[in-house]
Chains A and B, each alone.
Chain A
């Protein structure tokens, strides 16, 4: 057991072994590093396979991406080892870095594809992105026009740019993060504020009920990102 890692709670036996070995020197550390790298590589490969069909990476390039993710995750784990407080199992904590590395690398990879030829402002795609069937288009034409007007008139320039890229043009959020050199949290917050503004604008004009915050279930975002 490693007592008081960064003042955190007592670690479970397996997590304590990991931390003790990784903080040691000599063969025990080398062995732990090799074991951890193998686990992170397995997670990165599984994660890339799980997301198959949503990214174009395949073959040797996919395995190369998995190796890069595992390596960068291992570097992050070692850099932040002192911050591990045992609130989760060590392996779960470490795997998180591998999963996040895969997300970030796929986001950056989006722009490397030769097939990416986005036409800015593909508004005709929006109804489909938001689950509207072609036969429902006429019924909601007025609402769609009001939404477009609210995007143009009520959002800030940055909100409009982020909204248009993600919702209208279908750019994955992590890809936009990479393009803008921003963070996922910052882009999400921009979208969050944009959604609130648009709802308020549509409600003010009688298209929606008054804003009532509540759980959102954005399956369309999950599908498109």
Chain B
């Protein structure tokens, strides 16, 4: 409507968004599910976390870092 999609996206909020505390609390569970299954499966299982990771830059950054670290876990342990 505005022709300014970034502003509209910024002001849009998702009621499923669980917030940082809950997202961080189960981020390890979420990441292992992504690694053992798919990102889509994790988002279906935890839609509130998926919604939060789309909207919260710092938590999304932590998720990216944990996903990278956990994906290397096999290498780390050897």
Chain A binding surface, main DSSP class: helix
Chain A residues, CB < 8 A from B14: 213-216
**List of A residues within 8 angstroms of B66 by Cβ:** 92, 95-96, 99
Residue of B whose beta carbon sits closest to that of A212: B12
Alpha-carbon distance A202/B2, docked complex (angstroms): 11
Majority secondary structure of chain B interface residues (helix, strand, loop or mixed): helix
B interface bracket (residues with beta carbon within 8 Å of A): 35 or more
B62 near A143 with CB under 8 A, answer no
Bin the interface of chain A by size: 35 or more
Which residue of the partner chain, among A93, A167, A199, contacts B12 with CB atoms under 8 Å?
Answer: A199
Do residues A217 and B54 form an inter-chain contact, with CB atoms below 8 A? yes
CB-based contact A199/B11 at 8 Å: yes
Tell me which of B12, B29, B57 contacts A224 (CB under 8 A): B57
Q: Pick the contact of A173: B31, B58, B73 (CB < 8 A).
A: B58
Among A192, A223, A224, the residue within 8 A (CB) of B13 is A192
Pick from A98, A188, A213, A217: contact of B15, CB below 8 A.
A213
* Residues B76 and A50 in contact, CB atoms below 8 Å apart: no
Given contacts A88-B28, A92-B73, A131-B4, 6 further A-B contacts (CB under 8 A): A96-B27, A173-B58, A195-B12, A215-B55, A220-B10, A222-B60
16 residue pairs bridging A and B, Cβ less than 8 Å apart: A88-B29, A92-B32, A92-B69, A132-B7, A173-B56, A184-B24, A192-B55, A199-B12, A208-B1, A208-B8, A215-B12, A216-B55, A218-B54, A218-B55, A223-B57, A225-B61
